[in-house]
Structure 1
Amino acid sequence: MTLEANIEPAKNLAAKTAGIMAVVVGPSGAGKDTLMNLAARHFAGRSDIHFVRRVITREGDAGNEDHKSVSDADFDAMEHAGAFAVSWEAHGLKYGIPATVSDELARGHLVVANGSRSVLDRFQAVFPRLKIINVTAQREVLAERLMARGRESREDVLKRLERSSLTVKGGYDVANIDNSGTLDEAGRSIVAELEALIKR
């Protein structure tokens, strides 16, 4: 099941914490979108786990993520109306997690969202039962993947990787998944992590 946004205001989200919010994060090139898509297919049809369809101010066919595409003006209007549990800006885009996630959490279900390490404090403020799944890969692997995209020079990629951290800082409950090897290996890892959360 996929959760989408509506424009009903969020109401006391922090009080609806029977379920667990799992936020998947990781550096560019780690493959978190691919792993989330794999996990979503694996759990398709399950009523106790829900993958969030984020609202993003980018074209609907851009990237490797199924998202709701809106204009900047529409995003701002939705945010003003309380349609998002968490929202943030990064790299010139705006991202929103629908406030409707509270309904599934109130039922004791697991909700999985694509997030950002830079705003985990916002997730923690709203979702006390929070699990961070940090998808990483060896720097050499990240460099190869980023250069294969053809968007940056090798020098720019290496400089960016030198500045970036592969760890999650702060007192969060974190599970690390190394996606340096085969997709099957990392896929089994993320599925196992989510299965364990469902059983909590």
Structure 2
Amino acid sequence: MNQLPGRLFYVMGPSGAGKDSFMQLVRARLPGELLVAHRYITRAAFAGGENHVELSLTEFQRRCELGLFALHWQANGHCYGLGCELDSWLASGLDVMVNGSRASLTRAQDRFGECLVPVLVMVDAETLASRLRARGRESEDEVQQRLVRALAHGQGLPDSVWRLDNSGSLQQTLQQFERYRRGEHLCV
């Protein structure tokens, strides 16, 4: 009997929407149901936010040359990669969640085809502004720029994208995700 391929939940959303927190909750609450993959990033591992594998630019470029990334991109002054281990996990029938990039969604769809399930984590503007200011990584001008970009983040995405409203509690966001996984349609 042939093994059905797993699904790749490709999580996107504006900075401050709570993608990392949501994925940490998924990792803690659904460990037997799906894997949460680490990204490889040319950013210090202690920089806060997501649990990732830190690589120097030289290490990152070498891994690109060796074809060790299933997908990679550049954003915000850093290089990001998803390892080829995804292919093995998906071929084994495992469901996997990754922190993706909206700008690389088309490449991800081309690369993973029907296995890819795009997931957009959204948050209302007031909550996003509050979160961005609270983390203290951006100036007020940068916060305003991120708010403008966030407005456009969900526009132009296909209807097939699972849209999760993370303006409330993480538990509510997880419940939305679980309803999508069960095939229930949401009105968000």
TM-score, normalised to structure 1, is 0.82
Q: Aligned-pair distance for 1:155? A: 4.2
3-state SS in 1 of match to 2:118: strand
Matches within 5 A, 1:36-185: 36-44=23-31, 46=32, 48-129=33-114, 130-164=116-150, 165-171=152-158, 173-185=160-172
1:132 and 1:172 in contact (8 A); partners too = no
3-state SS in 2 of match to 1:184: helix
Q: Aligned-pair distance for 1:184? A: 2.1
Q: Aligned-pair distance for 1:118? A: 0.7
Distance 1:66 1:153, change over 3 A: closer
Q: Distance in 2 between matches of 1:33 and 1:195?
A: 23
Matches within 5 A, 1:5-20: 18-20=5-7
CA RMSD of aligned residues (A): 2.1
Structure 1 match to 2:173: 186
Structure 1 residues 125-154: Cα deviation after superposition (integer angstroms, max 9, x where no partner): 110121111001111111111111223343
3-state SS in 1 of match to 2:113: coil
Q: Aligned-pair distance for 1:191? A: 4.0
Q: Aligned-pair distance for 1:60? A: 1.5
Q: Aligned-pair distance for 1:169? A: 2.3
Q: Distance in 1 between matches of 2:90 and 2:155?
A: 24
TM-score, normalised to structure 2, is 0.86
3-state SS in 2 of match to 1:95: strand
Distance 1:168 1:49, change over 3 A: farther
Structure 2 match to 1:13: none
2:14 and 2:149 in contact (8 A); partners too = no
Kindly tell me the number of residue pairs found equivalent between the two proteins.
180
Between 155-164 and 115-124, report the one with greater CA deviation: 155-164
Distance 1:156 1:67, change over 3 A: closer
1:49 and 1:110 in contact (8 A); partners too = yes
Structure 2 match to 1:25: 12
Structure 1 residues 59-82: Cα deviation after superposition (integer angstroms, max 9, x where no partner): 112222111111100000001001
Q: Distance in 1 between matches of 2:27 and 2:86?
A: 16
Q: Distance in 2 between matches of 1:149 and 1:114?
A: 19
Q: Distance in 1 between matches of 2:176 and 2:39?
A: 23
2:43 and 2:55 in contact (8 A); partners too = yes
Structure 2 match to 1:3: none
Moved over 6 A (4+): none
3-state SS in 1 of match to 2:14: coil
Unaligned 5+ residue runs, structure 2? 184-188
